Structure 1
Amino acid sequence: MSLIPKPRWALSLVGIVITSAALAGCGSAGGATAGGPQTSGSAAAKDVGADANTEQCGKTSRTIKHDLGTTTVRGTPSRVVVLEFSFVDAVVNLGVKPVGIADDNDPDRLIPALKDKVGKYTPLGLRASPNLQVITSLKPDLILADSQDNAGIYAQLSKIAPTIAVASEAAGYQDTINSEKVVAQAMGKCEQMDTVLAHHEKVMQGFKNRVPKGEARKVLFAISTDTGVSGYTEGGFAPGVLAALGLRSPLPDTGGDAQVAMSLETMVSTRPDVLFVAPHPGKLLLDQWATTSLWDSIPAVAHDKVYKMNQNLWSRARGLTAAEEIAEQAVDKLYGAS
């Protein structure tokens, strides 16, 4: 029996929308499907900003700069393959159902709010090593790839269809916003993204308004497995969402890896006032820690502020629908349901 407080879920599904900071001067291109792969510069600089492509909005043929190069996309793609869960969010919010999704061979890894919108799709296997033959068979007109995990197969993907590679798996909240913008630019749906981003900003502001001014408690997000516990700085997706609400992490964000391996001693010295934990299935190292006297000295434990959260939502999804659901769950747990 777990000694960590049992889950106290607050799963209310926020409408499917994407995030803040609108794109400038964008318009949908109509007509033709995306053209054949035209890609250059596989060693391009990482983390290309969405502003680098603003002038492409409204064009029928768009030359999109992204983390792994420059790719030309024509028309309005409709047969889109996505290799990360945040891209599912982006595509669906732009009114397109992806034809293929790398879902790690587990459709339940799609959060319900997206799963209900996607409907039937072709599974592509693991996100980091999708089935290229199946992707080819789908005849996609656009592939959305992770610029870190899919870098090794980027050239192969580009031979199948125009491929845009942006941050997802290692993306923070603001990184995800940037990636959503680049996806919209590639798909010729800049104006639609403007609307989606404005709505998301309004939704997130509503949750932020429920956080009392001067909230000083330190809120830690962690993932626990049977062998380890990792805490996350505000450079991680979920802690970045919490920080946008005014709920700050006790772990300093140095601009490097957002994941910090933690021992029981470092957890104690970090002294989180609130602990949101996304556990792997099965036995947890955190449960072992909970049998010790040191565990009871952690403020979050002493004040009954340890919450188990769904890992698919809080860790894997990383899309903007996920951001809204994370925000809603966090404020409901800390301040009561509205």
Structure 2
Amino acid sequence: MKHSYKIMGILLLTLTVVLLTACGSVSNNDADQSKKNKSGKDDITIKHDTRTTKIAKNPKRVVALEFSFVDALAALGVKPVGVADDGDKNRILEPIRKDIGDYKSVGARKQPNLEEISNQKPDLIIADTNRHKGIQKDLEKIAPTIMLPSFDSDYKDNIEAFKTIAKAVGKEDKGKERLKEHNKLMDKYSKEITMDKSEAVLPAVISKSGLLAHPDNTYVGELLKELGFKNALNKTKTDHLSKYLKGPYLQLNSEVLSDINPGRMFIMADEGKNDPNLKNQEKDPVWNDLDAVKNDRVSVVDRNTWARARGIISSEEIAKELVEISKQKQNDKQQK
């Protein structure tokens, strides 16, 4: 009898252990499944460059490989941990530098340092569709990467990229509000620009290779069009021109420049009116025969602001500068 009780006790103990183990297994499975579900909920899908990428919700460590993306992050109140700044923080506009604070340089925009990007342990990398296509797979091995137009983008492309970045960093509502503010500011500045917008205008970067013109399908070209300006370049005159780095920028020779003969020019230079490349251009006999030069309608502007930044904040800076140029021209006329 005692033996029977002992056997029954062992059986009951064994059954209890089995039940506890099973319950523990179910509990662990539930916990694992909960973790998986939680992970799924924390992912968002971003559509970019004709594809989609899953990224963690509200990424905290963002690396930006173009100035326009830095501009967008600053406008959204997000501070990147890494920026491809060409090794020169001064290339980032001052109001943007103030907003983003300290960051780690990850090399040049044309050729970012992959090791340095990895060292920042990013949750998200924002790369350029044109410049970084060749290293896209390498970037994706480091962190989720979204590819957006910047180098060869126009103004409207950039607005769409801003919306995508806002969604990616969990700031869609703030992005919508910022765009409303942007549109109001641009409308205000457009009305305050008093110079004659009907004059055919040529926006161009001055470089060692000469003038790199920005037609309507470039960032500055379309921005000026949005502000009411008429571009001096048209498809007939520019079809045969060489393009810069496979982008929309066109290299002008003296013959084409003479043929275009713009009524106004915005020359984007690195070193202002004393830029050595500009001084060299001014020696060209064609230069002094241009209507823009003869009528004192050449404005030398900052290349970083006008050509490299390509963002919401920088476009507001450009529009604001155009208002100031208008005022200065008006004062000059009154003094004469």
How many Å separate the matches in 1 of 2:100 and 2:195?
Answer: 38
TM-score (norm 2): 0.78
Q: Deviations over 1:168-227 (max 9, x none)?
A: 111111111011111111122111101000000000000111245983111111111233
Q: CA deviation at 1:60?
A: 4.6
CA change 1:214–1:140 in 2 (3 A) is same
- 1:240 pairs with one of 212, 222, 233: 222
CA change 1:263–1:166 in 2 (3 A) is same
How many Å separate the matches in 2 of 1:302 and 1:337?
Answer: 15
One-letter code aligned to 1:332: E
One-letter code aligned to 2:88: D
One-letter code aligned to 2:209: T
One-letter code aligned to 2:172: C
- 1:157 pairs with one of 134, 139, 142: 139
1:287-298 → structure 2 map (5 Å cutoff): 287-298=279-290
Q: Is the 8 A contact 2:77 2:99 kept in 1?
A: no
In the other structure, the counterpart of 2:59 is: 77
Displacement over 6 Å in runs of 4+: none
Q: Say which SS state the counterpart of residue 212 (structure 2) adopts.
A: strand
Higher helix share: 2
In the other structure, the counterpart of 1:13 is: none
**Residues 1:144 and 2:144 are matched in the alignment:** no
How many Å separate the matches in 2 of 1:206 and 1:280?
Answer: 28
Unaligned runs of 5+ in 2: 1-34, 331-336
Q: CA deviation at 1:269?
A: 1.5
Q: Deviations over 1:125-164 (max 9, x none)?
A: 0112211111111111111010111111111111111111
Q: Is the 8 A contact 2:193 2:322 kept in 1?
A: no
How many Å separate the matches in 2 of 1:160 and 1:77?
Answer: 14
Q: Is the 8 A contact 1:68 1:165 kept in 2?
A: no
TM-score (norm 1): 0.78
Q: Deviations over 1:288-336 (max 9, x none)?
A: 4423543222111011111111111111111110001111112321344
CA change 1:230–1:214 in 2 (3 A) is closer
Q: Is the 8 A contact 1:251 1:270 kept in 2?
A: yes
How many Å separate the matches in 1 of 2:80 and 2:281?
Answer: 42
1:1-338 → structure 2 map (5 Å cutoff): 60-67=42-49, 69-211=51-193, 215-252=197-234, 258-281=248-271, 283-284=276-277, 286-336=278-328
Q: CA deviation at 1:74?
A: 2.4
Q: CA deviation at 1:280?
A: 4.2
CA change 1:327–1:288 in 2 (3 A) is same
Q: Which has the higher contact order (CA 8 A, sep 6+)?
A: 1
Query: What percent of counterpart residues are identical?
Result: 35
Q: Is the 8 A contact 2:269 2:303 kept in 1?
A: yes
**Rg bigger for which structure?**
2
Q: Say which SS state the counterpart of residue 234 (structure 1) adopts.
A: coil
Q: Is the 8 A contact 1:207 1:327 kept in 2?
A: yes
How many Å separate the matches in 2 of 1:297 and 1:258?
Answer: 27
Q: Is the 8 A contact 1:101 1:123 kept in 2?
A: yes
One-letter code aligned to 1:296: N
Count of matched residue pairs = 283
Q: CA deviation at 1:267?
A: 1.3
Q: Is the 8 A contact 1:241 1:326 kept in 2?
A: no
How many Å separate the matches in 1 of 2:99 and 2:267?
Answer: 27
Q: Is the 8 A contact 1:124 1:131 kept in 2?
A: yes
Q: Say which SS state the counterpart of residue 319 (structure 2) adopts.
A: helix
Q: Say which SS state the counterpart of residue 296 (structure 2) adopts.
A: coil
CA change 1:163–1:337 in 2 (3 A) is farther
How many Å separate the matches in 2 of 1:138 and 1:215?
Answer: 46
Q: Is the 8 A contact 1:208 1:245 kept in 2?
A: yes
